[in-house]
A and B are shown apart, each in its own frame.
Chain A
């Protein structure tokens, strides 16, 4: 599945080899030229989402970091550090300057793959869209082959029967109504 970790990103052409992390800035790009782009606020969860989604599309070979750096979080610097240095035994991104640069939710396999699959293009703090568009065109002419099989972080839909968690599946929301976990309401005797 392409881009399994949902987020506020925009999807363009799945065949494009360019992903763009616009950090705290907001841009619109031609959909036929860019695979996926969006803002990126945090140095932990945001980075995990980018890595998980980039490795799900082996056509992506370049990750442009552009736009204004995120103050305090240093999200751009942190993802660069992840790409260059990886994480330590505590899950901390080595040499990241953000406040909470920890990786918790993606396997090491995805990090290693991210490091190998994409080349980082450092345009941090560049907000001139024409300059970024020129870089997109330049990279499009430097075609790289697809990286191979995707790595997909699995998000499974839970089966309804396993959703029941407490009170034998029924929850009192009102003195004379019980609601089951699927919001089917039934009239019951008054519960005190």
Chain B
């Protein structure tokens, strides 16, 4: 049996999901991950330059990345595989940060604290 092996490479350009985008943050007061889904809104400037913003469509909250992913998928909020995989990565990072009392900032690495030397 021959199976091809290929090296993983990142996309050179990001393609926006036409459905919309997500803002993810931790609500430390309630110890929850909050995911805001914004439907894409395209504004046409007079210069013909298109700029995008979002209309808040749904807020999903929880503590478990898997449950958040399932809910988002059930709601048909994502139309691209790369967007879905991005969300999975971000939500897992958010869960790790929430569980370990770390700072989470969307699109940034979660900085792990080094264990104190005994």
User: Residues of A with Cβ closer than 8 Å to B?
Assistant: 6-8, 11, 44-45, 90-92, 99-100, 102, 104-105, 155, 163, 165-166, 171, 173, 179, 181, 183
Contacts and interface: CB of A to CB of B under 8 A. Distances in A.
B25 A105 contact: no
Contacts of B51: 99-100, 102
B55 A105 contact: yes
B75 interface: yes
Interface bin, chain B: 20 to 34
A118 B73 CA distance: 41
22 contacts: A6-B34, A8-B26, A8-B28, A44-B53, A44-B54, A45-B23, A45-B38, A90-B43, A91-B43, A100-B51, A100-B52, A100-B53, A102-B41, A102-B51, A104-B54, A104-B55, A105-B56, A166-B74, A171-B73, A173-B70, A179-B70, A183-B67
* Consensus secondary structure, chain B interface: strand
Contacts of B82: none
Contacts, number: 52
B59 interface: yes
Interface in B35-53: 38, 41, 43, 51-53
B43 to A, nearest CB: 6
B32 to A, nearest CB: 9
Interface of B: 23, 25-30, 34, 38, 41, 43, 51-56, 59, 61, 67, 70, 73-76
Contact of B29 (A11, A91, A173, A181): A11
Contact of B74 (A6, A11, A91, A181): A181
Given A7-B27, A11-B29, A90-B43, 15 more contacts: A6-B59, A6-B61, A7-B25, A44-B54, A45-B23, A45-B38, A92-B43, A99-B51, A104-B54, A104-B55, A105-B56, A165-B74, A165-B75, A165-B76, A171-B73
Contacts of A100: 43, 51-53
Contacts of A104: 41, 53-56
A131 B72 CA distance: 45
A179 B28 CA distance: 30
Contact of A45 (B43, B54, B67): B54
Contacts of B28: 8
A104 B7 CA distance: 42
A100 B41 CA distance: 11
